[in-house]
Amino acid sequence: MANLHFHYGVMSSSKSAALIINAYNMRRNGNAVEVIKPAYDERFGKQKIVSRIGLECDANALPNLQSYHPAPNTKVILVDEVQFFGEADIDTLVHIADQQNKIVMCYGLMVDSNESIFPASRRLIEVGAKLHRMDSTCQITGCMKLATHHLRFDSNGKVIRYGDQFALGDSNYKSVCRSHYNELCHGIKQKTK
């Protein structure tokens, strides 16, 4: 089994739910598991991960991973919202996976709402993490295409095309297919049959 994994998908693709389920199952099978997340994510409290479907688990919130050292008996490290960590933090996870022979499973977004890869996500690709895409459908009513992009909206419902991409929450985001992203963000209409 590969030691370094990146489970990625758009918002609402059940990444946190999968992490919580994996933590539960691994612990039930007698494996020592550590769950970590960036301290930046305080949506549900500093030490919690909560999925949109109501599952939750405790987590260790860290500002970065530079001084993170898993316990010697830990077999698996699960990392939520990995895109909010830095590239050097990913290198720390690589060291843990390779030098300490721990399984590291990261969960997060690949791209931001400007179609740019988050630096930590890019670093996971560069270091050869095993990639697992978590699929979800477009959140535009009636569309059943694969959601691959995020649209961010202001309080008036207008698409925000630029700005800070380190924003928490999903109330002003929609996960959409490429066609709807291009239509709503760039004004490029979908080709119809």
Query: Is the separation of the CB atoms in 151 and 176 below 8 Å?
Result: yes
Range of the domain at 20: 4-133
The CA distances from residue 94 to 63, 78, 105, 157, in Å, are: 18, 13, 11, 40
**Assigned domain for 52 exists:** yes
Catalytic residue positions?
A: 81
**Assigned domain for 120 exists:** yes
The CATH number covering residue 83 comes to 3.40.50.300
Query: Is the separation of the CB atoms in 27 and 61 below 8 Å?
Result: no
Q: With residue 130 as reference, give the H or E element that holds it.
A: strand 130-133
**Assigned domain for 161 exists:** no
- Read off the pLDDT of residues 4-24 as tens digits, 9 standing for 90 and up: 999 999 998 999 999 999 999
Distance CA 31, CA 100 (A): 16
**Assigned domain for 121 exists:** yes
**Assigned domain for 67 exists:** yes
Q: Is the pLDDT of residue 192 over 70?
A: no
- How many Cα atoms are found within 13 Å in the side-chain-facing hemisphere of 122? 10
**Assigned domain for 68 exists:** yes
Tell me which of 37-51, 118-132, 164-178 is least confident.
Answer: 164-178
**Assigned domain for 154 exists:** no
Phi, psi of 12 (to 5 degrees): 70, 25
Number of compact structural domains in the chain:
1
- Read off the pLDDT of residues 30-79 as tens digits, 9 standing for 90 and up: 999 999 999 986 666 677 888 888 898 999 999 999 999 999 999 999 99
Distance CA 5, CA 129 (A): 5
Tell me which of 67-81, 118-132, 168-182 is least confident.
Answer: 168-182
Distance CA 19, CA 52 (A): 13
Residue whose structure tokens are 């961010």:
152
